[in-house]
């Protein structure tokens, strides 16, 4: 790591000298297919040939609507024209000389693996057609668990907190490696994962199960494993959200959170996973739209804070890789400044890549004007550009920007990968309550099962709904199961229907989703318990539900409602697998939030 940091710093200085009329770029390759003088010369030639507009364009990573780079559906073409003034991805790349594209399910980029590969190839062809051809860094948020932009038939692994419950660094690394292999085969070379936030706040509305847990050492070990897994497969990993989003009670998508940690608390709680990621030679780190008064009393979010991004991340932690913003369309970064100022302030703070600004024309023009007026120097732009180009070099994009259907078929959703995901998931389900040995459910005494409860919308392509997946799995395991969705806010009528349905069944499995003191899910569970039939509660998101359900005799945590985790939970309930997961976060008492009900590391077995 230290040698790479030194060489990159030297290379940045050389690039700066070159941009003002002299010098040669010196850059090391780490993990790239091209090495030595050829690599250095390629980067030098590229930078020397670029206009200011082309350099600025490389700093932007944008969304685009459509399944095709040149021929999107009419509605997607219209959305592109409305938001970006172009019809398709190829036109967007040509107009703004983009450095990257981010894929989303809601933007219709990720229908199925072959289509994704074709889209990636089309985007790279558009980049290759430019005056100065530079391959694009195509990215997505494939955290697994509750955040997965690429769905089945790609392999889907348990999310971070589930992996934290499994406690296996080897499983975390394997999940990263396989996910990376599949993304690579579809032309995606940067994953905005892993989450390095330490979730110490049970009320955190945006991180929660996306974190590996509440213990900084454990999170650090898992982050290291995932970074090495992803990057061993040729995909850039991204630790997020610096300087740490784990102790917020506001969602930065809709507001501007404040972290009240002191400098000492930050060093103890938040810093270790990011230090670990840097030691693992991570390619990129994503910023958080959060205010940290201990480091910057100005009220600026970290994304726009020079003291945080340059003073702490660059200088104190010694990181000289790519820094990418969280989405610039999020409210947290737009609260204090307008969309024209945010990109400029982010670059001045220490950012390299500007992710998904709401208005690319405004953002692009603002950065150009900032350079032309001297607020930003071209030398600073060249430093950022060098980091981005070196990352592309490390990930083989200058040599192999394209992919093939054959590569997809050989890597994506293979039988071996799917079986590995199931084995990893089998080590994550956590048994919290089992009074009287109610679990496992006997196929003789509890053959007829009712599955009720929450059916939250599943991440794109990840399956569901949960009650249906659970019922189908129980059927495959020798039970006769019926699914009945009551949602996350069951009505009195739905609760009554569930009670009536249970009359003809031997037991019920109820899926709960973020139960609170006022949640009607409590009324559902109480009504089911009142029937006297065996009730098994399964938390399908945060593991804290059990604290609000004191009458439950059998309760488990699955940490997500994606198919792979639901199937694993069903196997545990049916005694096909022993519960191996241990809590990666504490569960506090609902009536005394300062008192631990179940500590970190707690988990029953059969």
Q: Please list, in sequence order, all residues whose beta carbon lies within 8 angstroms of the beta carbon of residue 419, skipping any fewer than 6 positions away.
A: none
The DSSP secondary structure of 69-115, one letter per residue, reads SS---HHHHHHHHHHHSSSSHHHHHHHH--SEEEE-TTTT--SSHHH
Q: Please list, in sequence order, all residues whose beta carbon lies within 8 angstroms of the beta carbon of residue 3, skipping any fewer than 6 positions away.
A: 28
The reported pLDDT for the residue numbered 37 is 65
The DSSP secondary structure of 512-546, one letter per residue, reads E-S--TT-HHHHHHHHHHHTTS-EEEEESS-GGGG
Q: Name the catalytic one among 26, 253, 281, 339.
A: 253
| Domains, in order of start, for the chain | 144-355+402-428 (3.20.20.300), 429-598 (3.40.50.1700)
The reported pLDDT for the residue numbered 331 is 85
Flag residues of the chain having pLDDT under 50. Answer: 1-34
- To the query of whether residue 144 is one of the catalytic residues in this protein, the response is no
Diameter over CA atoms, the chain: 83
Whole-number Å distance between alpha carbons of 350 and 323:
7
Q: Please list, in sequence order, all residues whose beta carbon lies within 8 angstroms of the beta carbon of residue 119, skipping any fewer than 6 positions away.
A: 66, 67, 68, 69, 89, 103, 109, 187
Residue with the two structure tokens 């969705």: 485
Q: Residue 396 to residues 31, 90, 135, 136, 231: CA-CA distances in angstroms?
A: 8, 22, 10, 11, 12
Whole-number Å distance between alpha carbons of 514 and 247:
17
pLDDT of 424-454, one tens digit each?
A: 999 999 999 999 999 999 998 999 999 999 8
Helix (H/G/I), strand (E/B), else coil: 62: strand
- To the query of whether residue 253 is one of the catalytic residues in this protein, the response is yes
Helix (H/G/I), strand (E/B), else coil: 270: helix
Half-sphere exposure of 204 (CA within 13 A, CB side): 25
Tokens at 7, concatenated: 């060489």
The neighbouring-strand residues paired with 218 are: none
The reported pLDDT for the residue numbered 247 is 85
Number of other residues whose CB lies within 10 A of the CB of residue 137: 28
Number of other residues whose CB lies within 10 A of the CB of residue 461: 19
Whole-number Å distance between alpha carbons of 317 and 352:
17
The reported pLDDT for the residue numbered 253 is 86
The reported pLDDT for the residue numbered 19 is 34
The neighbouring-strand residues paired with 554 are: 434, 536
| Inter-residue contact 597 to 588 (CB < 8 Å) | yes
Q: Name the catalytic one among 197, 270, 296, 326.
A: 326
The DSSP secondary structure of 561-584, one letter per residue, reads -SHHHHHHHHHHHTTSS------S
Whole-number Å distance between alpha carbons of 461 and 470:
17
Please, what is the average pLDDT of the chain? 91
The neighbouring-strand residues paired with 427 are: none
The reported pTM is 0.91
The reported pLDDT for the residue numbered 120 is 98
Q: Which residues of 332-370 are buried (b: 16+ CB within 10 A; e: fewer)?
A: bbbebbebbbbbbbbbbbbbbbbbbbebbebbbebbbeb
Which region, left, alpha or beta, applies to residue 211 given φ > 0 means left and ψ of -120 to 50 means alpha?
A: beta
Q: Please list, in sequence order, all residues whose beta carbon lies within 8 angstroms of the beta carbon of residue 442, skipping any fewer than 6 positions away.
A: none
The angle formed by the CA atoms of residues 420, 429 and 529, to the nearest 5 degrees, is 145
């Amino acid at each position: 790591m230290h040698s790479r940091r030194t060489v990159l710093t030297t290379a940045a200085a050389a690039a700066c000298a070159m941009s003002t009329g002299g010098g040669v770029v010196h850059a090391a390759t780490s993990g790239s297919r091209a090495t030595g003088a050829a690599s250095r010369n390629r980067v030098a030639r590229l930078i020397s040939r670029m206009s200011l507009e082309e350099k600025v364009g490389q700093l932007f990573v944008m969304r685009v609507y459509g399944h095709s780079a040149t021929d999107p559906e009419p509605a997607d073409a219209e959305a592109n024209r409305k938001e970006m003034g172009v019809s398709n991805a190829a036109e967007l790349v040509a107009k703004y000389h983009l450095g990257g594209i981010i894929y989303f399910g809601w933007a219709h980029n990720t229908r199925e693996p072959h289509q994704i590969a074709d889209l990636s190839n089309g985007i790279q062809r558009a980049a290759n057609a430019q005056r100065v051809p530079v391959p694009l860094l195509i990215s997505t948020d494939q955290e697994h668990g509750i955040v997965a932009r690429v769905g089945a038939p790609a392999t889907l692994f348990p999310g971070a907190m589930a992996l934290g419950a499994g406690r296996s660094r080897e499983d975390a690394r394997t999940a990263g490696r396989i996910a990376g292999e599949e993304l690579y085969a579809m032309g995606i070379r940067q994953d905005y994962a892993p989450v390095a936030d330490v979730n110490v706040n049970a009320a955190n509305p945006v991180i929660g199960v996306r974190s590996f847990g509440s213990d900084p050492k454990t999170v650090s070990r898992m982050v290291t494993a995932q970074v090495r897994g992803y990057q061993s497969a040729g995909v850039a990993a991204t630790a997020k959200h610096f300087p740490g989003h784990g102790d917020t009670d506001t969602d930065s998508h809709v507001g501007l959170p404040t972290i009240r940690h002191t400098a000492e608390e930050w060093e103890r709680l938040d810093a270790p996973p990011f230090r670990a990621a840097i030691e693992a030679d991570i390619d990129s780190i994503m910023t958080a739209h959060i205010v940290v008064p201990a480091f910057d009393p100005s009220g600026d979010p970290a994304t726009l804070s020079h003291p945080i991004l340059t003073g702490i991340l660059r200088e104190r932690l010694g990181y000289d890789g790519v820094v990418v913003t969280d989405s610039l369309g999020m409210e947290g970064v737009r609260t204090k400044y307008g969309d024209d100022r945010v990109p400029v302030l982010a670059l001045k703070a220490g950012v390299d890549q500007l992710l998904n600004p709401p208005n690319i024309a405004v953002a692009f023009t603002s950065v150009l004007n900032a350079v032309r007026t001297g607020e930003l120097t071209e030398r600073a732009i060249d430093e950022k550009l060098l980091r981005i180009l070196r990352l592309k070099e490390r990930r083989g994009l200058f040599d192999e920007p394209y992919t093939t259907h054959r590569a997809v078929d050989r890597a994506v959703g293979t039988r071996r990968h799917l079986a590995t995901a199931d084995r990893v998931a089998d080590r994550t389900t956590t048994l919290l309550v089992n009074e009287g040995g109610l679990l496992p459910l006997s196929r003789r005494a509890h053959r007829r099962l009712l599955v009720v409860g929450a059916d939250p919308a599943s991440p794109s392509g990840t399956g569901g709904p949960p009650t249906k997946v659970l019922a189908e799995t129980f059927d495959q395991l020798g039970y006769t199961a019926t699914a009945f969705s009551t949602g996350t806010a069951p009505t009195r009528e739905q609760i009554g229907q569930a009670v009536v349905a249970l009359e003809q069944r031997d037991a019920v499995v109820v899926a709960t989703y973020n139960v609170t003191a006022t949640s009607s899910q409590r009324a559902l569970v109480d009504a089911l318990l009142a029937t006297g039939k065996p009730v098994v509660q399964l938390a399908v998101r945060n593991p804290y539900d059990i604290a609000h359900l004191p009458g439950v005799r059998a309760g488990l945590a699955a940490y997500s409602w994606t198919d792979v985790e639901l199937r694993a939970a069903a196997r545990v309930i049916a005694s096909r697998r022993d519960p191996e997961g241990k809590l990666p976060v504490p569960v506090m008492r609902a009536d005394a939030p300062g008192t631990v009900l179940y500590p970190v590391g707690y988990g029953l077995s059969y």
